[in-house]
Structure 1
Amino acid sequence: MSEIRETESERAYRVLRGNIIDGTLAAGLKLKVIPLKSQYNFGAAPLREALTRLVGDRLVVQETQKGFTVAVISAQDAQDVGRVRGLLECEALRESLRNGDDAWEARLVAAYHRLRLVENRAPTEISPSDLEARNAEFHDALLSAAYSSWLLSLREQIYLHHERYRLLSRSNPNLERNTPAEHAAIFEAALAREPDLACTLVTEHINRTTEAAMKVL
């Protein structure tokens, strides 16, 4: 029985986390267990465990006698999250470029190819979920040869927070950006093992997302 509850708790955590990141559960929303049970068909105990984990991720805030609330978003937070992601991602990228072997390069090439397949589709044919998954896969592949597990863990957490702002930035009707070209430049710099150039391009890539999100906040 405990194994089933643990599996349900993990699933509840992943579903709630995804819905916070994509905005289905809006910033500032009160998260009450009974309504969540009806909405998601999870048990009360797994939901409480999931919410507690999300507090640790800083995607949910818990206040005494007030319960759980989806963490708010703001221009100031977007700027801070983007800055920290850039710092962590560049350090991990430098490690990865130093340590990457043939297997790392093959993984990166494959991830970039899968991303390009989606990016090359007509806008009406692009599945947002496919694009998000392949974008994350590409950025993960870039860093996959970094040896510091702490660095990668911290970067993964900040990536999720920046993802909230990246998805928000797409609601900007005046957004003019050639994201495929940005990915191509990062990919070429990484393959050429040029850490300074790759870090500059990644930082600019992240900053453009942050700036676009700030314009709609």
Structure 2
Amino acid sequence: MSEIRETESERAYRVLRGNIIDGTLEAGLKLKVVPLKAQYNFGAAPLREALTKLVGDRLVVQETQKGFTVAIISVQDAQDVGRVRGLLECEALRESLRNGDDAWEARIVAAYHRLRLVENRVPTEITQSDIEARNTEFHDALLSSAHSNWLLTLREQVYLHHERYRLLSRSNLNLERNTPAEHAAIFEAALARDLDLTCTLVTEHINRTTEAAIKML
């Protein structure tokens, strides 16, 4: 079977989206095609396609006669995004925990194990991108038995916006938080199929991230 190759516009979308989320492309930055071509070595047409798609994700804003701009971040937006992510995540969690079979449980165990491995390493032994990828993998695994495509699609979109604030919160060197312990508690509650406790723990986990990000704004 031949591999499905990523198109240049898809690659441009993925790279730009990642750089918006991690703050490389700062909030409010004007996104002009010519400088982006030089910075990323993508063609003009793929970049325009990527930017248009990012407008649909609400990570980029397009204004008539003004072009494209990275969506702003703010205290009000952080609170709103965090609240909506909590609502969507809890609904998806309840459905996933009710539907989850042995394969779902195995996915959670594997994802949590991979996350715990990087959380227990010293920073010099692991890249930040690995930590972020495994964190996302764990949270996605928890919801993987929810059967509502609309619910999961909306949650994914809001999750990406909340990631901007989560990564911002990690820059707070004075943050007193035991994230591995939070993940461990969520993991145990999910395996026990305790819907209310899992939802409560995940909501608190999201709220702590939002509060930490707000302190940095």
2:99 equivalent to 1:99: yes
Structure 1 counterpart of 2:174, one-letter code: N
1:98-137 equivalences under 5 Å are 98-137=98-137
Q: Deviations over 1:147-188 (max 9, x none)?
A: 100000000000000000000001112201000000000000
| CA deviation after TM superposition for structure 1 residue 203, in Å | 0.1
The corresponding residue for 1:41 is 41
Is contact 1:166–1:209 with CA below 8 Å preserved after alignment?
A: yes
| CA deviation after TM superposition for structure 1 residue 48, in Å | 0.2
C-alpha separation between the residues in 2 aligned to 1:114 and 1:170?
20
Once the two structures are overlaid, the 10-residue window that deviates more, 115-124 or 188-197, is 115-124
The corresponding residue for 1:3 is none
The corresponding residue for 1:170 is 170
| CA deviation after TM superposition for structure 1 residue 97, in Å | 0.3
Is contact 1:119–1:126 with CA below 8 Å preserved after alignment?
A: no
Once the two structures are overlaid, the 10-residue window that deviates more, 84-93 or 165-174, is 165-174
C-alpha separation between the residues in 1 aligned to 2:47 and 2:216?
31
**Structure 2 counterpart SS, 1:68:** strand
| CA deviation after TM superposition for structure 1 residue 94, in Å | 0.1
Unaligned runs of 5+ in 1: 1-5
2:184 equivalent to 1:184: yes
Residue correspondences, number: 213
Q: Percent sequence identity over matched residues? A: 89
The corresponding residue for 2:204 is 204
Q: Deviations over 1:1-59 (max 9, x none)?
A: xxxxx800000000000000000000000000000001000000000000000000000
C-alpha separation between the residues in 2 aligned to 1:173 and 1:182?
18
The corresponding residue for 2:216 is 216
| CA deviation after TM superposition for structure 1 residue 125, in Å | 2.3
C-alpha separation between the residues in 2 aligned to 1:30 and 1:109?
42
CA RMSD of aligned residues (A): 1.1
